[in-house]
């Protein structure tokens, strides 16, 4: 999609409302939008109603004969989208004043951001001047890499600040010879610090006042490229291994001040040892205790490997004598009750109450059953039952009872006459009376 602006492009339209405009064909003497734009191109447009005060300027998007009113720049509806009424409208490409670039009365160009697909050309001396203009102030920002093509780059600022950690000179030199003479020159002092490719080193044409580290080539103080081999030994003696050994033998730790490597003292050892544990000491031939090691060693042993001490081993003799002696002095009061409970009346009563004859097996003392009773009763008679308060019958006892009961008054009370007796003799009457008296006696208890 591109922004395209073309001259002499105008068509008519009859679209109403605020929506996209359907183009109706080019006006005589003008080109159509389709001849100037491709689908999805954008352009600046103007729409003007021929018979009403309705107009609009904006940015539109063209697609297949339809112009979508994307952004409204100005309009007869307070710069909002116009709801066009019925009638013919002219629709044409224009350059809105808000988007125009022009020179002011001083031939100066004032605009916002500039976007170009090419480059900016200027005169032989081309100046970019940030505000405030003409006083060499302001800041020029290059938002990206800066490449300067030419022969000379001059920086006239008072201070040069470079954030890079390394500055490359003689960039692109094929070899050391091509980089010969690269370095730094101080103008006015004729002071140089340059690379000497023939000797592959830096060369200075001025003295250097500094503390040096490393090898130095040239004149140093009053000795030129000498070593101790050229300097006779004087009162300051040279080092030899023999001299060191002799001096070292005469010394002890008392002569050597303690530095970061500390001497041994009992106090230091005690302090260090207190801060340690078996975790800090690697296991050697003397093994540490572990439960597994103990279990393994213990399993391999028996009482034969353990000498008898105050805790005596069991023997039959000791058991038969000492145990009996000690047991004789003890009672159940000396033995704590465990899972096997002692007898108490309360425990017996509680247990007995919960039982019945169903829980007690029949032994030599037999339980009562009806059949056992019947069997035993059948085998008995009154001869087997001692006389108690309930007396057995005897003739003597019956006669005595009759005599005591059948008196004259008893007979009179019966109110029996001769007819009632049916002519029975005395014996019969007595026998009958005796029988009746016995029955009566039994009945009366």
Q: Which of 45-54, 69-78, 388-397, 403-412 has the lowest mean pLDDT?
A: 403-412
Average pLDDT of the chain is 88
Write the pLDDT tens digit of every residue in 293-306.
999 999 999 989 98
pTM of the model: 0.36
With a cut of 90, say whether residue 180 has pLDDT above it: yes
pLDDT band at 86 (very low <50, low <70, confident <90, very high): very high
What's the 3-state SS for the chain? Answer: CCECCCCCEEEEECCCECCCEECCCECCCCECHHHHCCCCCEEEEEEEECCCCCEEEEEEEEECCEEEEEEEEEECECCECCCECCCCEEEEECCCHHHCCCECCCCCECCCCCCCCCCCCCCCCCCCCCCCCCCCCCCCCCCCCCCCCCCCCCCCCCCCCCCCCCCCCCCCCCCCCCCCCCEEEECCCCEEEEEECCCCEEEECCCCCCCCCCCCCCCECCECCCCHHHCCCCCCCCCCHHHHHHHHHCCCHHHCCCCCCCCCCHHHHHHHHHCCCHHHCCCCCCCCCCHHHHHHHHHCCCHHHCCCCCCCCCCHHHHHHHHHHHHHCCCHHHCCCCCCCCCCHHHHHHHHHCCCHHHCCCCCCCCCCHHHHHHHHHCCCHHHCCCCCCCCCCHHHHHHHHHHHCCHHHHHHHCCCCCCCCCCCHHHHHHHHHHHHHHHHHHHC
Asked if residue 249 is part of any domain, the answer here is no
Q: Single out the residue of 53, 60, 73 nearest to residue 33, CA to CA.
A: 60
With a cut of 90, say whether residue 32 has pLDDT above it: yes
User: What average pLDDT score do residues 392-408 get?
Assistant: 84
With a cut of 60, say whether residue 55 has pLDDT above it: yes
With a cut of 80, say whether residue 425 has pLDDT above it: no
Write the pLDDT tens digit of every residue in 214-242.
776 665 555 666 778 878 899 999 999 99
Asked if residue 82 is part of any domain, the answer here is yes
Range(s) of the domain holding residue 60 = 10-99
Write the pLDDT tens digit of every residue in 98-140.
888 888 888 888 777 888 888 888 888 888 888 888 888 888 8
Question: What is the per-residue pLDDT for 45?
Answer: 97
Asked if residue 108 is part of any domain, the answer here is no
pLDDT band at 213 (very low <50, low <70, confident <90, very high): confident
Question: What is the per-residue pLDDT for 439?
Answer: 61
Asked if residue 306 is part of any domain, the answer here is no
Question: What is the per-residue pLDDT for 225?
Answer: 61
Question: What is the per-residue pLDDT for 326?
Answer: 83
Higher pLDDT pick, 253 / 442? 253
Q: Which of 187, 209, 231 is the last residue of a domain?
A: 209
Q: Which of 107-121, 164-178, 198-212, 354-368 has the lowest mean pLDDT?
A: 107-121
Asked if residue 214 is part of any domain, the answer here is no
pLDDT band at 203 (very low <50, low <70, confident <90, very high): very high
Asked if residue 236 is part of any domain, the answer here is no
Give the separation between CA 67 and CA 45, rounded to whole angstroms: 9
pLDDT band at 344 (very low <50, low <70, confident <90, very high): very high
Higher pLDDT pick, 191 / 116? 191
With a cut of 80, say whether residue 62 has pLDDT above it: yes
Asked if residue 242 is part of any domain, the answer here is no
Asked if residue 38 is part of any domain, the answer here is yes
Domain count, the chain: 3
Question: What is the per-residue pLDDT for 132?
Answer: 84
């Amino acid at each position: 999609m591109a922004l395209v602006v073309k001259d002499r492009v105008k068509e008519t339209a009859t679209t109403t409302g605020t929506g996209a405009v359907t183009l109706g064909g080019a006006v005589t003497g003008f080109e159509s939008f389709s001849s100037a734009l491709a689908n999805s191109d954008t352009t600046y447009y103007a729409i003007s109603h021929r018979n009403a005060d309705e107009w609009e300027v904006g940015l539109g998007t063209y697609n297949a004969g339809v112009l979508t009113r994307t952004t409204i720049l100005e309009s007869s509806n307070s710069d909002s989208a116009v709801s066009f009424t019925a009638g013919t409208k002219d629709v044409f490409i224009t350059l809105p004043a808000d988007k125009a670039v022009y020179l002011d009365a001083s031939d100066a160009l004032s605009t916002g951001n500039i976007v170009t697909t090419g480059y900016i050309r200027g005169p032989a001396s081309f100046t970019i001047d940030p505000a405030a203009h003409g006083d060499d102030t302001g800041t020029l920002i290059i938002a990206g890499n800066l490449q300067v093509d030419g022969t000379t780059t001059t920086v006239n600022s008072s201070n040069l600040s470079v954030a890079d950690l390394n500055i490359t000179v003689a960039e692109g030199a094929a070899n050391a010879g091509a980089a010969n003479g690269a370095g730094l020159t101080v103008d006015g002092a004729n002071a140089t610090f340059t690379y000497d490719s023939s000797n592959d080193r830096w060369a200075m044409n001025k003295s250097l006042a500094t503390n040096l580290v490393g090898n130095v080539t040239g004149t140093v103080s009053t000795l030129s490229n000498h070593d101790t081999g050229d300097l006779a030994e004087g009162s300051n003696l040279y080092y030899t291994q023999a001299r060191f050994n002799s001096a070292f033998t005469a010394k002890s730790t008392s002569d050597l001040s303690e530095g970061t490597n500390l001497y041994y003292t009992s106090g230091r050892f005690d302090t260090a040892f207190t801060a340690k544990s078996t975790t800090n000491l690697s296991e050697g031939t003397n093994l540490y205790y572990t439960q597994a090691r103990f279990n393994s060693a213990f399993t391999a042993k028996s009482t034969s490997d353990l000498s008898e001490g105050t805790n005596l081993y069991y023997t039959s003799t000791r058991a038969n004598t000492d145990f009996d002696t000690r047991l004789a002095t003890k009672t159940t009061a000396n033995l704590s009750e465990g899972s096997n409970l002692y007898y108490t009346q309360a425990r017996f009563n509680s247990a007995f109450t919960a039982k019945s004859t169903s829980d007690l097996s029949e032994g030599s003392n037999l339980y009562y059953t009806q059949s056992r009773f019947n069997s035993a009763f059948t085998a008995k008679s009154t001869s087997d039952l001692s006389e108690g308060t309930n007396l057995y019958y005897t003739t003597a006892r019956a006669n005595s009872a009759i005599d005591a009961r059948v008196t004259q008054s008893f007979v009179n009370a019966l109110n029996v006459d001769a007819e009632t007796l049916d002519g029975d003799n005395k014996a019969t009457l007595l026998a009958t009376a005796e029988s009746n008296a016995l029955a009566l006696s039994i009945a009366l208890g």
